[in-house]
Structures are given as structure tokens and as C-alpha cells.
Amino acid sequence: MYVLSVATRLAGSHVSAWRPAVAGVAEVFHAHFVDHAYPRHIHEVWTLLIVDDGAVRFDLDRHRHGALRTSVTLLPPYVPHDGSSATPNGFRKRVLYLDTSALDAELVGRAVDEPDLADPRLRERIHHLHQALAAPGDEFEAESRLALILDRLHRQLRQRPAVDGQPAGRGLAVRLRELLDARTVEGVTLREAAELLHAHPTHLVRTFTQVHGVPPHSYLTGRRVELARRLLLAGQRPVETAVAAGFFDQAHLTRHFRRYLGVSPARYPARS
């Protein structure tokens, strides 16, 4: 079902977010940001982004990129990135967060290497998909359009050479990531994690940061913010969401939520 609420407008910025009844689409997110800068963070889903005005600069896996009006940007899951405006008047963007099942995991490395797709036809198809997603009752059209988009993405990414090599210690970092995913709400101390994974705490933090691009505590906070936004879109109140997502209280949630998304949790679930 669609989650509807009142659109959010703060200091020249505007955010709309909803979860459509379309398989494969975890969330639709439209935003106009004037001066908001995303901190380095990680999504557990694919991020398919088009820019309607201005431009966005971002680091993906420690490499600088830019998202322009003429291109499509695809950010893979579990790869750190940030984002800020590359123009004085900010930027407007439309984002589809796609389930990991939408694209093969083997394509992650290819998307990391080249997240920008100069494909006007693909951008046009994504634009029309957003229009279909904005209208409850057009789910079949949206599913059909999404299928064509995913097919085009698959074909384009498979034309790129595969990425070879894995950072040293990746296995340990992945096990810690899986532990943090499993303990997102209740959390885990560094000492407990080190004992469970049979590693020295310092080595654990260093290896995780090297492989994933963010330290473990930042990753955990980001996962909690992601969980919070899903709960908010499902209609849960911010005070309940804070505890359910692993934050100490609503103020703790609000501080981190605003830093990551540029809007308070109370005003997040919004449709224009």
C-alpha cells in the first residue's frame, strides 16, 4: 500500500517519501536540498538516482563522482558514499531504492567502478516510472516500466569488465557487518564483537573501516536510520520508532536522522 502524509518543507528544502505497492521498490524519495550534505553512509539496497536540477557531487568507495541532469546514477548496496550540492542553489533529485533482489550481486563491483550511466533513454524510462509510482492504481504500469529498466541496467552493467581482487581481511569485515545487521536494534559492544569473531578490537575496527569505508559505529547508526525510515513509512510514530530502531530516545533518533536525511523523523513520511 502507499504511505501518504504531508510534504515537508524546511528552509527552502522539500522532501517527499513513500513506499509504493510495487515489488522490488523499497522506497521512492524526492527531494530538493539547498545546503544539506549527506554524511558518509551505507544503504542495504540499490539506489537509482536522477537529478532534475543542479548537480550532486559524491564520493563512492573513496572515489569522487558527480550526478548530472543528463545522466543516471546507480549506487550499489553496502558501498559507502556521501553527497552534497555541486551548485550554489542546491539540487533536486528523484530516487528509487531497489531491493537487492532487483539486480545481481555480481554487478556491484561494476557499479562501483562507474556509477554514472550516460543513457538518455534509460533516464526517460526512469522519469516515466516515477510518474507511474506517484499515482495509486498504476501499479501494473509501474511494474512493467521497472522490468524494462532493470533489464537495461543488467545489459549495460554486464558489458563492463568484472572487478578483480578483494581487500585483505574482507571475510572478517563481512562477519562483523552481518553481526551488526543481526543486532541492529539491541546493539553489541566492541569487546563482545571481538570475542565472538575471535579478533582484537583494534584490528576489528581497522579492518571493517578499510573494507567498508566507514567505521563500525557509523555503519550501525546508518542501519538504525534506515530501519527508522522504514518504520516511519509504515506509519509508526517517531517516539515508538526511536526505541524500535535501537536509539536511546526520540531526541537521539532526531539528531542522527536529521544529519543523514536533512529532515526530522516527525516530518519524514511525506507525499506531495
Q: What is the CATH number of the domain that holds 131?
A: 2.60.120.10
In this structure, the answer to whether residues 185 and 132 fall within a common structural domain is: no
- The average pLDDT across 39-48 equals 95
Residue 126 lies in a domain: yes
Task: Kindly state whether residues 14 and 76 are assigned to the same domain.
Answer: yes
Could you give the angle at which helices 170-182 and 201-212 cross, rounded to 10 degrees?
100
Q: Do 24 and 46 reside in the same domain of the chain?
A: yes
- Top mean-pLDDT range of 3-12, 161-170, 181-190: 181-190
Residues 14 and 73 grouped into a single domain = yes
Q: What distance, in Å, lies between the first and last C-alpha atoms of the chain?
A: 16
Domain boundary among 96, 130, 158: 158
Specify if 227 maps to a domain: yes
Strand 81-85 to 72-75 pairing: unpaired
Average pLDDT, the chain: 90
- From 118, 134, 158, give the residue that closes a domain: 158
Burial of 155 (0-12, 13-18, 19+ CB in 10 A): exposed
* DSSP-based three-state secondary structure for 189: coil
**Torsion, CA 202, CA 204, CA 206, CA 211, rounded to 10:** 180
d(CA 104, CA 150): 10
**Structural domains counted in the chain:** 2
Task: Quote the CA–CA distance of 51 and 67 in Å, as a whole number.
Answer: 7
- pTM equals 0.84
- Other Cβ atoms less than 10 A from the Cβ of 106: the count is 11
Which tens digit of pLDDT belongs to each residue from 81-137?
A: 999 999 999 999 999 999 999 999 999 999 999 999 999 999 999 999 999 998 888
Range of the domain at 82: 8-158
In a domain, 119, yes or no: yes
Question: Same domain, yes or no, for 133 and 186?
Answer: no
Do 40 and 130 reside in the same domain of the chain? yes
- Give residues with Cβ within 8 angstroms of 230, minimum separation 6: 19, 26, 27
